[in-house]
Amino acid sequence: MALGAFVGIFTYCLIVLRTIRGGDEGAFVPALAVLAAVALALVGVWVLIFFLHHIARAMQASSIIAAVAEETISAVDRLFPEEAGEQEDNESDGSVEDDVGNDALNWYAIPAVINGYLQHVDETALLEIAESCGSVVRMDRGIGEFVIAGYPIVSISGDRPPARQTCDAITRSFALSRYRTVDQDVGFGISQIVDIALKALSTGVNDTTTAVTCIDYLTAILARLAPRRKPDTHRYRNGELRVIVCAPTFERMLELAFSQIRQSSQGTVVVMLISLQSLGTLSNLTRSLHRREQLRDQAHRISELADRTVAGPDDRELVQKAVLRALSEIEALHVSA
């Protein structure tokens, strides 16, 4: 917007300058146009000041983290629309054996045609292709994974290898690119915030405030995810299994959000305390026994890390008390479940 304003004002001033005449041709100065040019020049100065102020705020770590978190939360709302129930304990990626025996199907791998990250999958198109062929299509790579040309990206069942036309139609249902996006990839948004936290915890930077901010926003993302049901990995058409997709799980997102930060927070008491507080908060947002078990496991890992890396006995005791508080919140929900 700022660049467009500058170019527009500059072009207008050139046009006005061209109309100004003097000398033998007779003097002509378009006073109103010149006055408008001066006014626009002042507007350009205001736009420049606003642009510099906006850039200065946008480059702050907290603004970047908040923007990534908002985009990731929007993706969670799209990909995890349903609330989870008390028995939402199955966090596996799903497998075809749940519906069809291995012996009943012959799988034929369809390779990717280019290198790149899997950005988007058109599940509707896959359903239509699978139904028209009377087959089952199974994703071999999940959203956000890097796919190598010539290696399988998807498999299709059948008595004979699929036709070339079918393979081309299936590969067109997958969007590959040089970079990842958050649109269908919640893990990428989490990874971006984790990367900022790891840089903040590095020896050369040692910015615990930014690391704590990252943990706060990671907690906000997982808090939106914790009470949601994991998307079903099996897609049916007219009562028949047709597509098996790779769906993200709460367990995987939790591990992605906390494990690397925990490993890089050796001896950093404040990061451990905030992480334990976050685990306690998340435990109050899910009724799933499996998910609370994962939260408990993260708390035990922080406890073990504190015993190994925190030098002061008082600081170790402080962390262990926080561990007990987090575990008590999780166990209390076990009693009430």
pLDDT in tens, 204-229: 888 899 999 999 999 999 999 999 98
Provide the number of structural domains found in the chain: 3
The pTM (predicted TM-score) of the whole model is 0.81
| pLDDT of res. 306 | 93
User: Which helix (H) or strand (E) is 18 found in, with range?
Assistant: helix 2-19
| pLDDT of res. 25 | 60
82 belongs to a structural domain: no
Q: Give yes or no: residues 197 and 334 share one domain.
A: no
Residue 100 has pLDDT above 70, yes or no: no
Q: Give yes or no: residues 42 and 148 share one domain.
A: no
Round to whole Å and give the CA distance between 245 and 138: 6
304 belongs to a structural domain: yes
Q: Cβ atoms within 10 A of the Cβ of 44, count?
A: 17
Residue 103 has pLDDT above 50, yes or no: no
73 belongs to a structural domain: no
Q: How far is CA 315 from the centre of its chain?
A: 34
Q: Which of 214, 243, 261 is the last residue of a domain?
A: 261
Q: Give yes or no: residues 203 and 161 share one domain.
A: yes
Q: Which residue has the tokens 């917007």?
A: 1
18-32, 188-202, 257-271: least confidently modelled range: 18-32
What CATH number should be reported for the domain holding residue 135? Answer: 3.90.1170.30
Query: Would you state the structure tokens that stand for residue 56, as one six-digit string?
Result: 């200065």
Residue 273 has pLDDT above 90, yes or no: yes
Listed in sequence order, the residues at least 6 apart from 121 whose beta carbon sits closer than 8 Å to its beta carbon are 139, 143, 173, 174, 175, 184, 245
97 belongs to a structural domain: no
Q: Give yes or no: residues 123 and 245 share one domain.
A: yes
Q: Give yes or no: residues 120 and 189 share one domain.
A: yes
Q: Give yes or no: residues 164 and 256 share one domain.
A: yes
Query: Would you state the structure tokens that stand for residue 163, as one six-digit string?
Result: 């036709």
Q: Give yes or no: residues 187 and 110 share one domain.
A: yes
Range of the domain at 36: 2-58
| pLDDT of res. 106 | 87
Residue 88 has pLDDT above 60, yes or no: no
